Structure 1
Amino acid sequence: MSPTTIILIRHGETAWNAERRLQGHIDIALNDEGLRQASALAEALEGEHIDLIVSSDLQRAAQTADAVARTRSMPVQRDPLLRERCFGGFEGLLYAEIEQRFPVEFAAWQAREIDAPMPSGARVAETFRQFYQRAVAAIIQWGRAHPGQTLALVAHGGVLECAYRAALGLSLETPRDFPVLNASINRFHLLDGKLSLVSWGEVGHLQPRVLDELN
């Protein structure tokens, strides 16, 4: 049986990414740089065979997926299970503001206490373990539903982190010492319900084009 190929993509940049303001489930659009990244991503994938495009229903992911879909006249399915982690009362705040307002909860978050609760805000926060289980299950569910095909899933930094940890068998308590980049291409195989990593953090398509002296 041939594996399902999953191209896992992080959305392009938002203004809140640039200023280190925590988004979570708050629905923020791409900024101008994010739109440029989404366009470059679409161009980079143009020659690749893709059977299905799925994105988180948050607009930063949906806009990125739509850019990829436009170049190949494909529909995009939306799945709220591919959303970023819900951070409850942390959402909408700068990291420095979270540390100031919620020092105990911030310290537990930074120490990677995976079952530590966060304060509720407009929504009830997920623990990291709850989020990991949701995100990985969603990726595997899509892959199992389309065996042997190639899927492009457009999601969020936390979702990419979960997939990376699942594929490499990393403990959830270990630090995130690997890059999770906006508009990056990350490739996995899924076989017998198990993710394996093929490549990580492809961002060559995001570099400005270098023109030679005759252009």
Structure 2
Amino acid sequence: MTTTRFCLVRHGETDWNVERRLQGHTDISLNTSGLEQASQMAQALKEMNLQFDVLYTSDLQRARQTAKAIENLYQVTAITNSALRERHLGALQGLSLNDAPLVEPELWKIHLSRDLYHDMRGGESIVQFSERIRCALEELRQKHVGKTILLVSHGGALDMMYRVASNQALEAEKAVTVPNASLNWISHDGNAWKVERWADTSHLQKNALDNLDL
């Protein structure tokens, strides 16, 4: 059987991560710590002598800036793919975890309940988000069978990739952390997905923040 491997990287830290603010599709840049994390992550890949065949990144700048550290070190060019974006959180985007229950109390309750079909008023439902991520993964797998794919994306997106690879139910509570600039490995042997390693931050000099996806 031919195994296709994915190394999944969450983007580095942003100011909104620090403020515990829901980013979604809002295009926020890395902060100084995030740029340092991206550099440390890329250096770790180089030191472990990771050989990959292709580099993909979400088109949001926090992911593109993280991928840039890999591009610089490996002298490669990332392929931008908007399907790797974070979930669009509709009316909740831009709100902090403290503000959301006050500004959008009913919507916040729906969000906490993991309603699979609510689009957060103009965003994506969990089912829509799951289908987007599943299709993106499958498309890349089929395009690069037997290869190693390096992919830079977002906390909620990587959580969804974990659910795909581990067959975790969409309505189930979050089972794993997805820290900033973490390395996460999944693979497909031609028959099924497998989670190999998750949430590796041993390359970072300081603690990284988990994602806000619920």
Whether TM exceeds 0.5 here: the answer is yes
Aligned residue in 1 for 2:115: 113
Aligned residue in 1 for 2:43: 43
Please show how residues 13-28 of structure 1 align to structure 2 within 5 Å: 13-28=13-28
- Using the TM superposition, give the Cα deviation of residue 97 of structure 1 relative to its aligned residue in structure 2, in angstroms: 1.7
- Using the TM superposition, give the Cα deviation of residue 178 of structure 1 relative to its aligned residue in structure 2, in angstroms: 1.6
Aligned residue in 1 for 2:210: none
The residue identity in structure 1 corresponding to 2:32 is: D
- Structure 1 unmatched runs, 5+: 209-215
| Residue aligned with 2:188, SS | strand
Please show how residues 43-82 of structure 1 align to structure 2 within 5 Å: 43-46=43-46, 47-82=49-84
Q: 1:157 aligns with which of 155, 158, 180?
A: 155
Question: Hey, what's the Cα distance between the residues in 2 that align with 1:29 and 1:190?
Answer: 32
Instruction: Provide, for residues 131-176 of structure 1, a one-character-per-residue CA deviation record: whole Å limited to 9, x for no partner.
Output: 0110121012112101111110100001111111111111111111
State TM-score, norm by structure 1: 0.91
- Using the TM superposition, give the Cα deviation of residue 192 of structure 1 relative to its aligned residue in structure 2, in angstroms: 2.7
Check whether the contact 1:27–1:59 (CA below 8 A) recurs between aligned residues.
Answer: yes
Aligned residue in 2 for 1:93: 95
Write out the 4+ residue segments of structure 1 that deviate beyond 4 Å after TM superposition. Answer: none
Larger radius of gyration: 1
Q: Kindly report the root-mean-square deviation, in angstroms, between the aligned alpha carbons of the 2 structures.
A: 1.2
Aligned residue in 2 for 1:138: 136
**Count of aligned positions:** 204
Question: Hey, what's the Cα distance between the residues in 1 that align with 2:119 and 2:35?
Answer: 34
Check whether the contact 1:105–1:117 (CA below 8 A) recurs between aligned residues.
Answer: no
- Using the TM superposition, give the Cα deviation of residue 103 of structure 1 relative to its aligned residue in structure 2, in angstroms: 1.0
The residue identity in structure 2 corresponding to 1:5 is: R
Check whether the contact 1:140–1:190 (CA below 8 A) recurs between aligned residues.
Answer: no
Check whether the contact 1:56–1:81 (CA below 8 A) recurs between aligned residues.
Answer: yes
Question: Hey, what's the Cα distance between the residues in 2 that align with 1:194 and 1:104?
Answer: 39
State TM-score, norm by structure 2: 0.92
Check whether the contact 2:90–2:119 (CA below 8 A) recurs between aligned residues.
Answer: no
Please show how residues 168-187 of structure 1 align to structure 2 within 5 Å: 168-187=166-185
| Residue aligned with 1:65, SS | helix
- Structure 2 unmatched runs, 5+: 207-214
Aligned residue in 2 for 1:213: none
| Residue aligned with 1:54, SS | strand
